[in-house]
Amino acid sequence: MVTRTELVSRDTARDSADATRVAVSTVIFTVRRTASGRAAVALPVVRRTRDPYDGLWALPGGWLDVTESLDAAASRTLAETTGLAPSYLEQLYAFGAVDRSPTRVVSIVYWALLRADEVEAADALENVTWFDADALPRLAFDHNEIVEYALWRLRNKVGYSRIAHGLLADEFTLADLREVYEAILGRRLDPANFRRQVENSGTLLPTERFRTGSHRPARLYRYNQDVELADRGPLASDDEPR
């Protein structure tokens, strides 16, 4: 027999579930040069202008509208908060710890990759700044934990996919590509071994153009668009026909 206390407890839990809100946030990675000239993975964050955590930096995001898909919400909130439109956007994980926010909030987190020529839109906004991914300040909510998880995923994925190409311009040298890998992995790679591996991968197409400068000319390559940057599995995105 169900007691009155149990019924009240169930009603309270149901009311709490009804109050749960869904947010969408995005971790945006790019490769930028530090003051010392070293290439490093960096990401933009947005300063909060209201409680909770008024004044702290946070990942760009916003509330999910009942009329839109998750992918559409991720693209919309990015455009509204940073002015950015990444060419690569993928769902990362759902974060829903009970105490992650003063109210019950589940965040669907995406991660995105930006080429160097795509970051200018965010640079013009006063409430957006960039930090090296390994030197973040304290962020609002559990956003430091989210960035740590996204970095772990990026560093794992670069080992078995071609995801690094999403951080490069349409044409690049092998030194450019190696520098992106080194920035993601946080270690130096042997140039000769790296060249041999990527040239045998089938993902690069040499062009007839060269980059000239103080060193000998370096051939420019482009990414083979017939090869996916990463295997997203059998599920289509929210905005693709099924």
> Could you tell me if 29 and 41 are in contact, meaning their C-beta atoms sit under 8 angstroms apart?
yes
Structure tokens at 43: 């990401």
**Which bin fits 74, alpha (ψ -120 to 50), beta or left (φ > 0)?**
alpha
> Could you tell me if 229 and 161 are in contact, meaning their C-beta atoms sit under 8 angstroms apart?
yes
| Complete domains list, the chain, with CATH | 21-157 (3.90.79.10), 163-223 (1.10.10.10)
Structure tokens at 14: 């149901």
Distances (CA, A) of 46 to 26, 39, 78, 124, 160: 11, 22, 11, 13, 31
Where does the pLDDT of residue 235 fall: very low under 50, low under 70, confident under 90, or very high at 90 and above?
low
**pLDDT recorded at residue 239:** 57
Strand extents, DSSP E, the chain: 21-33, 39-47, 57-58, 61-63, 88-95, 105-113, 128-132, 171-172, 204-211, 218-223
In 124-206, alpha helices (H): 143-157, 174-185, 191-199
Query: pTM here?
Result: 0.85
- Span 47-63, pLDDT tens digits: 999 999 999 999 999 99
How far is Cα 61 from Cα 24, in angstroms, rounded to an integer? 5
- Span 131-185, pLDDT tens digits: 999 999 999 999 999 999 999 999 999 988 999 999 999 999 999 999 999 999 9
Residue 122 has pLDDT above 90, yes or no: no
